[in-house]
């Protein structure tokens, strides 16, 4: 029979075993930590590698949630990716502490419990393990470890919506692209260092627009970026680093500086996933004794940001017999995506929208549209977006497979409006857009 003292003793032992040091975890320690967490919380976590780096290191992802191994209808998928620049190291370590906090708070903290019961959270502490290992000495500034083993900048390595990206796609990039294709991600952030700001899409632009590259969901992105900056210990003050200042701690990516082949634009255009870029430390690779402060400064922001995956509206599109219809275009009127957002294999859609009134258009391309007006409340505290299903009255509707070429879509649109003789490809794209948004 256990006495109270025994129980306290066991609890202390458990917490010592699970305690995570504030230090840098190199490849073997990182793998050991993730495997240890999975062993300690097998029903709450799912550890898998989505591919390998150039030097053959696993690209580990820990998925957390009540159903960690697979997607459940209605439960949105969220991700954090860190250390894609190998010399930007704070994100890599604070994501390990986030994992520790989530697993140890489940069934103890009611908010974290509800969050994990209603969200599947994917955490990738390092997208560039080779670059991290190549950075031998902690250093505040730009080093060779930024790049992967082939010398490529992974945040310039994705297909670009505005211009042709000639960089050859690296194994790390391809692994992330496949992962994005295979999961219905709704919201994401990628973690960097060298500045203190939350930056949002677009990073690139067509032509020579000055100042700001606005996406159709600019209001949502500003909200997402501010959610992070205002829940961070100091980012919202906008002091940045050195002489940089960022009002309210946020910036449009292009307003800060233009870049091609970035991951956040790729997520938004091709992945149907809203992603922002978080710059978390002025020093890219700070001494390990500062890691505890970085974790404290970011903890609330990391959690509040995940909750935003429950913004807006979600639902399923089915036929008369209740069978899900994949590849149905579902978009909010007035905010068309250049590559229209479509339902997944379960007929599901997720649209991140701020509270307000919207007309949602569900279109089976070339066949039929259905409109519904929705009143979206502030629902993030309920851990569920507004639910709005669509049921078509026909039997067995088939929708064309989703196709969105990995070519510069915005450039095509601009050319189409100027060209006297549009190519077949542009005609197909314009037809899809017209069907969707007439
Ligand atoms: Zn970076």
pLDDT digits over 256-282, tens only? 999 999 999 999 999 999 999 999 999
In this structure, is residue 95 part of a structural domain?
yes
In this structure, is residue 433 part of a structural domain?
no
Q: How far is ligand 1, taken at its centre, from the CA of residue 300, in Å?
A: 22
Does residue 403 surpass a pLDDT of 80?
Answer: no
Residues 205, 399: Cα–Cα separation, whole Å = 32
Same domain assignment for residues 85 and 105: yes
pLDDT digits over 217-252, tens only? 999 999 999 999 999 999 999 998 988 899 999 999
Does residue 348 surpass a pLDDT of 70?
Answer: yes
Same domain assignment for residues 236 and 355: no
Task: Tell whether pTM > 0.75.
Answer: yes
Same domain assignment for residues 17 and 28: yes
Q: How far is ligand 1, taken at its centre, from the CA of residue 84, in Å?
A: 7
Q: How far is ligand 1, taken at its centre, from the CA of residue 154, in Å?
A: 9
DSSP per-residue codes, 312-377: SEEEEEE-TT--B-TT-EEEETT---SS--B--TTSEEEE---SEEEEEEEEETTTEEEEEEEEE-
In this structure, is residue 418 part of a structural domain?
no
**What beta strand segments (E) does 195-269 contain?**
195-200, 250-252
pLDDT digits over 41-86, tens only? 999 999 999 999 999 999 999 999 999 999 999 999 999 999 999 9
Q: Which two tokens stand for residue 105?
A: 């708070």
Q: How far is ligand 1, taken at its centre, from the CA of residue 88, in Å?
A: 6
Count of residues in the chain: 438
Mean pLDDT, residues 360-365 = 94
Q: How far is ligand 1, taken at its centre, from the CA of residue 192, in Å?
A: 4
Give the CATH number, domain containing residue 383.
2.60.40.1120
Same domain assignment for residues 29 and 58: yes
Please report which confidence band the pLDDT of residue 421 belongs to, taking 50, 70 and 90 as the band edges.
very low
Mean pLDDT, residues 384-390 = 97
Same domain assignment for residues 251 and 386: no
Q: Which two tokens stand for residue 58?
A: 């696993």
Tally the C-alpha atoms within 13 A of residue 324's C-alpha that lie toward its C-beta.
14
Indicate the range of 4-18, 24-38, 83-97, 268-282 predicted with least confidence.
4-18
In this structure, is residue 436 part of a structural domain?
no
Same domain assignment for residues 161 and 48: yes
Same domain assignment for residues 148 and 191: yes
Does the annotation mark 279 as catalytic?
Answer: yes
Q: Which two tokens stand for residue 209?
A: 């627009």
In this structure, is residue 421 part of a structural domain?
no
Q: How far is ligand 1, taken at its centre, from the CA of residue 327, in Å?
A: 34
98 membership: H or E segment, kind and range: helix 90-105
Give the CATH number, domain containing residue 288.
3.40.630.10
> How much is the pLDDT for 240?
83
Partners of 358 in the β-ladder: 374
Number of folded domains that form the chain: 2
Same domain assignment for residues 66 and 197: yes
C-alpha distances in angstroms, 409 versus 72, 184, 302, 339, 425? 31, 21, 32, 8, 11
Range of the domain at 161: 4-310
In this structure, is residue 419 part of a structural domain?
no
Neighbours of 204 (CB within 10 A): 21
Q: How far is ligand 1, taken at its centre, from the CA of residue 193, in Å?
A: 6
Please report which confidence band the pLDDT of residue 396 belongs to, taking 50, 70 and 90 as the band edges.
confident
Partners of 188 in the β-ladder: 79, 275
| Cis amide linkage into residue 62, ω under 30° from 0 | no
Partners of 16 in the β-ladder: none
Domain stops at, among 391, 418, 433 = 391
Same domain assignment for residues 220 and 297: yes
Domain stops at, among 288, 310, 332 = 310
Residues 279, 250: Cα–Cα separation, whole Å = 10
Q: How far is ligand 1, taken at its centre, from the CA of residue 363, in Å?
A: 38
Q: How far is ligand 1, taken at its centre, from the CA of residue 150, in Å?
A: 17
In this structure, is residue 291 part of a structural domain?
yes
Domain stops at, among 287, 310, 333 = 310
Same domain assignment for residues 184 and 290: yes
Same domain assignment for residues 104 and 123: yes
> How much is the pLDDT for 199?
98
Same domain assignment for residues 336 and 383: yes
In this structure, is residue 353 part of a structural domain?
yes
> Hunting for tokens 């009255």 — which residue is that?
393
Q: For 310, which DSSP code?
A: G
C-alpha distances in angstroms, 181 versus 138, 174, 176, 313, 350? 35, 10, 9, 21, 15
Residue among 279, 348, 394, 414 flagged as catalytic: 279
């Amino acid at each position: 029979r256990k006495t109270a003292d025994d129980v306290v003793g066991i609890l202390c032992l458990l917490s010592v075993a699970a305690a995570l040091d504030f230090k840098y975890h190199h490849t073997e320690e990182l793998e050991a930590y993730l495997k240890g967490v999975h062993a300690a919380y097998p029903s709450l976590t799912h550890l898998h590698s989505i591919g390998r780096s150039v030097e053959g290191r696993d690209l580990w992802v820990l998925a957390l949630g009540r159903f960690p191994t697979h997607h459940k209808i209605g439960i949105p998928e969220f991700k954090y990716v860190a250390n894609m620049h190998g010399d930007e190291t704070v994100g890599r370590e604070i994501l390990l502490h986030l994992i520790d906090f989530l697993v140890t708070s489940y069934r103890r903290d009611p908010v974290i419990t509800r969050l994990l019961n209603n969200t599947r959270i994917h955490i990738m502490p390092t997208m560039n393990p080779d670059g991290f290992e190549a950075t031998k000495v902690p250093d505040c500034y730009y080093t060779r470890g930024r790049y992967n083993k082939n010398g490529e900048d992974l945040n310039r390595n994705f297909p670009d919506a505005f211009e042709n990206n000639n960089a050859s796609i690296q194994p790390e990039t391809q692994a992330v692209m496949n992962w994005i294709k295979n999961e219905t991600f709704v919201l994401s952030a990628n973690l960097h260092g060298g500045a203190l700001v939350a930056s949002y899409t677009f990073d690139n632009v067509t032509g020579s627009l000055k100042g700001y590259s606005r996406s159709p969901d600019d209001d949502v992105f500003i909200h997402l970026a501010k959610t992070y900056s205002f829940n961070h210990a100091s980012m919202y003050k906008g002091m940045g680093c050195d002489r940089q200042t960022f009002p309210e701690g946020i910036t449009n990516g292009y307003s800060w500086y233009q870049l091609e082949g970035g991951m956040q634009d790729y997520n938004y255009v091709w992945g149907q996933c809203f992603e922002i870029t978080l710059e978390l430390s002025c020093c890219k690779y700070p001494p390990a004794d500062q890691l505890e402060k970085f974790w404290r400064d970011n903890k609330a922001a990391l959690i509040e940001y995940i909750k935003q995956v429950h913004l807006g509206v979600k639902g399923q599109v089915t036929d008369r017999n209740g069978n899900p219809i994949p590849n149905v275009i579902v978009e909010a009127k007035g905010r068309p995506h250049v590559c229209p957002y479509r339902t997944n294999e379960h007929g599901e859609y997720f649209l991140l929208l701020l509270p307000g009134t919207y007309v949602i258009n569900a279109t089976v391309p070339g066949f039929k549209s259905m409109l519904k007006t929705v009143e979206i409340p502030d629902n993030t505290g309920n851990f569920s977006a507004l639910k709005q299903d669509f049921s078509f009255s026909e039997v067995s509707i088939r929708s064309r497979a989703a196709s969105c070429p990995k070519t510069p879509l915005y450039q095509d649109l601009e050319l189409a409006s100027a060209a006297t003789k549009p190519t077949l490809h542009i005609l197909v794209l314009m037809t899809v857009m017209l069907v969707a948004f007439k």
